[in-house]
A and B are shown apart, each in its own frame.
Chain A
Amino acid sequence: MSSSLISPNPIGTSNPAAAGADRSREAKTRRRKKKAQAQAQAQSKARSLSSKWKSQAQQQIFSSNLLRALAQSRRRGGGGVGGGGSSGGRAVREAADRALAASAKGRTRWSRAILAGRIRISKFRKRKRPAAAVAAAAAAAGRSRKPRVSVSRLRGKGIPAVQRKVRFLGRLVPGCRKEPLPVILEEATDYIEALEMQVRAMSELARLLSGGASVGAGSSSGSPPEPLPGQ
């Protein structure tokens, strides 16, 4: 049967932004109260969101999505491609990213960006990514020798080094290129957890496929062989 989801939090990432706009309209004393409230809310929301990616249920959902996407892609391009190494890997990677974004249920920007843009901009991303990575890596390596910037600098965003890093980070996380700093930080947090879950799920899957010996013993971790309903 379908495994129950960890409590889905209906508040999306737009909550801090809404609270921020609200805050600017209130008086100063009320603003402070609301800020404390929003912070507590954000903390509890963050905790529930972070546990979401660590749960077993989420991993199972991701695995089933991934397998379905893989089966689809194999049915479509199985005859023509002929199993080329790099192209097959690329297709798996994109299917995995789509499954990951689908597991996020569209509550984060990067998941929406992945689902919306994978088809259109896959060609452009292949060109942009190597050039941007080399240039930014060179710039970042040169600037990381002065680690004396504190958080107040982040707020002011006057230092070009921090600014450059923030922009680079915004490019790494899909869909966050033009977002302000707190949005990028939040998206990056969620994205890192999601990627870790993706790595865990895919390595489990690879282990199951290559080994196959631990199936009969009642698999302790990873996705157990039971039919999950289509989601």
Chain B
Amino acid sequence: MSSRRSRQSSSSRISDDQITDLVSKLRQHLPEIRDRRRSDKVPASKVLQETCNHIKNLHQEVDNLSERLSQLLSTIDPDSPEAAIIRSLI
């Protein structure tokens, strides 16, 4: 039953509690699951699904933001206060 140490040479015994702990910790970071009632009964596959979706959404946001930033940076006026901000930060 719990004697699965086939092909994982680095961590030979993955305990159930460890995985439960990790899954619950991951669940805290997912806003969709956190606000749901009956948070004990969320199955692990749902957690994985939400994690994938969340990461994809975050990637999308980062892409959008970088698009915006690139446009802002290319059209910025060298003498404006924004450029002064950038220069002072660097």
Contact = CB atoms under 8 A, between A and B. Distances in A.
Given A172-B52, A192-B54, A180 B10 contact: yes
Nearest to B72: A209
A93 B62 CA distance: 7
Given A172-B52, A225-B89, A17 B15 contact: no
Nearest to A143: B45
A157 B45 CA distance: 11
Interface residues of B, number: 57
B59 to A, nearest CB: 7
Interface in A160-192: 161-162, 165-166, 168-169, 172-173, 180-183, 185-186, 188-189, 191-192
A85 B64 CA distance: 12
Interface stretch (A1-9, A114-122, A197-205): A197-205
A5 B20 CA distance: 31
Contact of A89 (B18, B25, B67, B89): B67
Contacts of A199: 58, 61-62, 65
A20 B69 CA distance: 45
29 contacts: A20-B13, A35-B15, A63-B89, A67-B89, A90-B66, A92-B66, A93-B66, A147-B43, A149-B45, A151-B44, A165-B48, A165-B52, A168-B52, A182-B14, A183-B11, A186-B22, A191-B55, A192-B29, A192-B51, A193-B29, A195-B55, A199-B62, A203-B65, A209-B69, A209-B86, A210-B68, A212-B81, A215-B81, A215-B85
